[in-house]
A and B are shown apart, each in its own frame.
Chain A
Amino acid sequence: MMDVPAQVVYSRPESLTSTPTTYCPGCTHGIAHRLVAEVLDEMELRENTIGVAPVGCSVFAYNFFNCDFVEAAHGRAPAMATGIKRVLPDRVVFAYQGDGDLASIGMAEIMHASGRGENITVIFINNAIYGMTGGQMAPTTLPGQKTTSSPDGRDVEQAGYPLRMVEALATMQGTGYAVRRSLHDPKNIRLAKKALRMAFEVQTRGLGFAIVELLSSCPTNWGLTPKESLKFIEERMIPVFPLGDFKVHPALEGLRV
């Protein structure tokens, strides 16, 4: 055995508190939180940032992020973020929202924040279900997917089709950045982090509204093991929600993060 000097290669980002998260085992919220925190650390934004938590599983996000935080009403995080950003334009403001929050009850607020080119960053967690209330159908629930409020599977004739939010938001002139990533394996997690970094770069450069949609798992409400859940994302969700860059502001061209 050789003596190797101890070297810290992995630790908790300063932008995360030491509070253990309240997320279920296998849920990818924790990964998303860590990625956001790493980006805030790397860009040295922690002390200049105000986060806006949603209603849903991440309602307690403010307990886990080590920066100033406010807690919005269901779906209203983009409006609340707008109010903060308009008073304090030199601060970094991000909203963290789930699919029910952003794509259902908060549809008006997210579309108009984007339309205004509101210079905020939105992290959109899409797990195709309402987690906090116990697994009801979300606007992003897949066709045929069983939930507690679509017990026979989502019938598109009756309940309509899943909403593709970043594609819709990419059509808005005020959007500077709209991409979809996934958290189902290490490679995609690394790509997700780069996208989050870009989304904060968009804000600090004043390039408009930025959103990163992250396909996420919900083993508890999907009725799958954590491992099966990651497979579900890859095999079932990605065909409906393709990964990719739907809008990237031309000023970001050549930016390597």
Chain B
Amino acid sequence: MARELLEGNRAMAEAAVRAGVQAYFGYPITPQTELLEWMSKRMPELGRAFLQAESEVAAINMIYGAACTGVRVMSSSSSPGVSLMMEGISYIAGTELPVVLIDVMRGGPGLGNIAPSQGDYNQIVHGGGHGDYFPIVLAPSSVQEAIDFTVMAFDLAEKYRALTFVLADGNIGQMMEPAELPPMQPVDRPIPDWAVRGAKGRERRILSSIYIRPEDEEVTNLRLLERAGKIKENEVRYKEYFLDDAEIVVVGFGTAGRVAFSAVRAARAQGIRVGLLRPITLSPFPSEAVAELAAHAQAMLVVEMNSGQMLDDVLRPVAGQIPVEFYGRLGGVVPFQDEVLTEIERIAHHPPTIEFDPREKWIRRMKEILN
């Protein structure tokens, strides 16, 4: 396949089509609507199920039903819409169904705005729906990764009977850049032996998230937890840049990670020994890689487009070994490379100490920046 100039939303939609998605249900919301629009044309022409649902609530429950038939299914939305899906997300997790969901994050809380944000990190990575469940979460930082991770999401969802998110942001969804689409996969995949398709010549099957006896629900919860452990063993993914001799380690995912990469390169040009860790799986989080880096580096800088939601996941494995600083932009503001470079320079020239809360320090600096 040749590289083409592709927009993120449409590229993710086409990637899902080529990964063999058999049903897509969604609802329009900026900045992911192009994905739904692409599906509205592509799915029917391939004889696959597409429906514009009456709401995200309905969309996720249509997905819930379609997933019960054992075929590849997907929905997509953006932050406020994903909030509406949370009930269904919890049911899907509780029923242990392989479902792929794409969240193209925008500024919040509330109606917020339609600019790129990473404000859904906690909602997606640490739950958001009720109960104990552990989705797989993949964070692309380019259109190519958005394509690749969409395909990978289907494979991981199927492998673990797990809910898998592609957590993108408005930048990834809206921007165009050269990327290569995967080949078309056949859709006649084997149907799993738990699927509900009519009890022809076999015992009936039931798919449900209800375990009325607490003891049974506890067993289910433990099974989900064990599965999450297995996923953590096998599927942690991240990218490392210039980390071999890095004294300062920048950690950032998605668009923030991509901006941070440019800043790291600029700082390297100045002779600052800085590198970047860009988590690809936000869940399972690359905690061991962070701990390993913390054992050798002198300081860390976490860059996000939120108030430091991933910061807490970095602080845990760092465990006070070295100072961790934070730089975030909020509410739909994307940091410029220069802002991150300034932070790297500050840390290089004035090494921070551990005793201050990184978030409080950042808020003080933010006030200076904004004034």
Contacts and interface: CB of A to CB of B under 8 A. Distances in A.
Contacts of B22: 87
B206 A73 contact: no
Contacts of A79: 53, 57-59, 61-62, 64-65
B202 to A, nearest CB: 9
Nearest to A90: B198
Contacts of B95: 71
B88 A76 contact: yes
B24 to A, nearest CB: 10
B25 interface: yes
Contact of A69 (B51, B201, B204): B204
A50 B55 CA distance: 24
A67 B210 contact: no
Contacts of A83: 23, 25, 61-68, 73
A41 to B, nearest CB: 14
Interface in B12-64: 22-23, 25, 49, 51, 53-55, 57-59, 61-64
B197 A68 contact: yes
A47 B199 CA distance: 5
Contact of B209 (A50, A67, A71, A87): A71
Given A68-B196, A79-B53, A91-B197, A84 B66 contact: yes
A56 to B, nearest CB: 12
Interface string A51-94: 01100000110100111111111001001111110111001000
A202 B57 CA distance: 27
Interface string B169-193: 0000000000000000000000000
A84 B199 contact: no
Given A71-B210, A86-B62, A50 B196 contact: yes
Contacts of B206: 62, 68-71
A175 to B, nearest CB: 16
A69 B196 CA distance: 7
B199 A46 contact: yes
A21 interface: no
A76 B66 contact: no
A43 interface: no
| B54, B57, B67, B68 interface centre (most CB from chain A within 10 Å) | B68
A209 to B, nearest CB: 14
Nearest to A116: B51
A65 B205 CA distance: 11
B199 A73 contact: no
B327 interface: no
A109 B54 CA distance: 8
B49 A87 contact: yes
Interface string A120-154: 00000000000000000000000000000000000
B62 A82 contact: yes
B220 interface: no
A33 to B, nearest CB: 15
A1 B204 CA distance: 45
Looking at A46, A81, A87, A88, the one whose CB has the most chain B CB atoms below 10 A away is A87
B71 interface: yes
B207 interface: yes
Interface string A194-226: 000000000000000000000000000000000
Interface string B232-243: 000000000000
Given A69-B196, A73-B88, A83-B25, A109 B58 contact: yes
10 contacts: A47-B198, A48-B200, A59-B210, A68-B206, A76-B64, A79-B65, A83-B63, A83-B67, A86-B66, A116-B51
Interface of B: 22-23, 25, 49, 51, 53-55, 57-59, 61-69, 71, 73, 87-88, 91, 95, 196-201, 204-210, 212
Given A59-B210, A82-B58, A82-B62, 10 more contacts: A66-B204, A68-B206, A86-B51, A87-B23, A87-B49, A87-B66, A87-B71, A108-B54, A109-B54, A112-B58
